[in-house]
Structure 1
């Protein structure tokens, strides 16, 4: 498995319109709404003239937002994980029996394949677009790029959701979706007061090039801080200059992980935990000895990385019980003697 650092490049909508009568919606398309609508993004303003019927999801995670809002894209973009139709388990029910074309974007958008879908809207809020790439997509169909002033990759999930919602004529539904998820996090945090102020560190697993990769405080750890946890600043000194997302901690410096009361390891493969525990210094860490650990499976790790309106509820359902157990000290997570 390639480290997510090689797959993640980093890590306010204006809507206007006049009354018009859009065409009757096809299955999977946006319902009747007040079109045209105009939305502002990083590269300007895009006008969507009518309710889109053939939406292409050109970035790594946008399909989740579209599906959550009741729009089934005609094409989706595969990120990683080899999931059928690039759709992870948390989104399969929303996809239903649809069989969208699967695109790849390892070297940028697949313009020819996208054009072949005859799209009337291209959603590329998490496609890492630069100006030239945006212009090429916009020549195919109205295109919505990343939120204005946001990261080209993995801008805040809520900003993406609101932008996509406005573009498909569902701003109210998008706002309600975002607010509902945020309320779930707030309610969960209130129901687990022990999370408040507890230092926790989220890490990839196992080690990469002799280092442990920990996520610093920010968008990649919002799923923890929104539950009340804190991310200790002690790991920040191991981040490359100019990088505020990931800290690369040499194995000989693993002791810095004692700054976390809880360690959450994204163990996507069965062998990852074995590799972690093979390091003698890992076994000396206080959270390891006390069982203050969470080991994810591949699906939970993917849900955390996706940070989408469909994956975040999955994270709450599956991670929170493990966090409870970790805080109490879970003997099952301690290395075997």
Structure 2
């Protein structure tokens, strides 16, 4: 069994693992601060979430790509089986409507199973949240939650007897895929790791579950919700923002790529990523740039949004004279974002986007108003 670390997932042992600080480049997860049942896990995990998707900008690039096109998905007619969905590293063929589904990726495989009413029997436990599930994940049954910190527990997955495995949010799928397919048909990502937008992920899950119509309905509803907020808040349009987690050392791993999932979300509301950060050289994680304490001035924008691994880090950072000196902080346009909301925005799905939108919109409105 592999000993690789998976952010936000718990070890299944009697004692909690101590957090360790190992920066790691994994496309959407980026730098990771800590492992195990700590918020530090997610503080920088959420910073590395990029996407090639343009979802919500008046169309979806996903629809134009082969893996996201219903025709390219083989026989993915509404509820028809058998169905074959193309993907990377392999295609998935499901012969009949699944009756036992295992969600083995990070967050969004579970999101999609729940959103589409799949018969979920097993899901990856997320140690960031005490219950093992995000607050927007509310199963009507009681799926077994398994830790994946040290790799996928293949024996437990097999023991759950799934007839379909959702693993499109598994960033180690290149390693896991062959093993998982020996247990059950496994849905991989469509265009490559870290390259599927939230809408494409929903479409593909809908295809293999025989619930494409339901998936399309959810996508339409989420886009409409985003459009409604943008319409109700025209003051957001054109405002610049910076967003990122603060490390325990006081450095900020700011989003510096407009392809980032959170950056795309804020762009859909009319905001623009600050040109101060888009010009920065990338760090070890593509789309991320590290801002040292002495250059906190680069964080300033119409709205500054930060998240922290713990309250102690937040208090220390907010007491820094250089941070207090930022114009955005002085006028009240700084948003300390809670971890669940930050994760909801960094790992967007048809379930997490409404949650994140409801939580962040009033904060954005206040921050923009204070800067008017």
The CA deviation string for residues 105-159 of structure 1, in whole angstroms up to 9 with x for no partner, is 22432211111111100000000134342111111100011122x3x24732111
State how far apart, in whole Å, the 2-side matches of 1:298 and 1:7 are: 9
The 1:18–1:193 alpha-carbon spacing in structure 2 relative to 1, beyond 3 Å, is: closer
What is the RMSD computed on CA atoms of the aligned residues?
A: 2.3
Give 1:78's match in structure 2, choosing from 125, 146, 163: 125
Give 1:215's match in structure 2, choosing from 255, 261, 272: 255
Give 1:147's match in structure 2, choosing from 165, 170, 190: 190
List runs of 5+ in structure 2 lacking aligned partners.
Answer: 1-39, 51-67
* TM-superposed deviation, 1:214: 1.1
State how far apart, in whole Å, the 2-side matches of 1:153 and 1:73 are: 24
Give 1:319's match in structure 2, choosing from 360, 364, 367: 360
Give 2:161's match in structure 1, choosing from 104, 113, 118: 118
SS at match of 2:136: helix
State how far apart, in whole Å, the 2-side matches of 1:304 and 1:7 are: 8
State how far apart, in whole Å, the 2-side matches of 1:6 and 1:251 are: 20
SS at match of 2:243: strand
State how far apart, in whole Å, the 1-side matches of 2:356 and 2:309 are: 15
Partner of 1:15: 73
SS at match of 1:74: strand
The 1:154–1:91 alpha-carbon spacing in structure 2 relative to 1, beyond 3 Å, is: farther
Partner of 2:80: 34
State how far apart, in whole Å, the 2-side matches of 1:101 and 1:89 are: 17
1:43 equivalent to 2:86? Answer: no
The 1:129–1:184 alpha-carbon spacing in structure 2 relative to 1, beyond 3 Å, is: same
Partner of 1:182: 223
State how far apart, in whole Å, the 2-side matches of 1:232 and 1:165 are: 36
* TM-superposed deviation, 1:211: 1.1
TM-score by length of 2: 0.77
The CA deviation string for residues 265-320 of structure 1, in whole angstroms up to 9 with x for no partner, is 22463334312212110011010011101122232223223312111101111110
Say if 1:126 and 1:155, in contact at 8 Å, map to a contact too.
no
State how far apart, in whole Å, the 2-side matches of 1:60 and 1:154 are: 15
Partner of 1:233: 275
Indicate the structure with greater helix content: 1
Report 1:1-337 matches (<5 A): 1-2=40-41, 4-6=43-45, 11=50, 12-13=68-69, 14-17=72-75, 33-61=79-107, 62-84=109-131, 86-92=132-138, 95-96=139-140, 98-148=141-191, 150=192, 152-153=193-194, 155-205=196-246, 207-216=247-256, 217-218=258-259, 219-240=261-282, 243-258=285-300, 260-267=301-308, 269-329=310-370
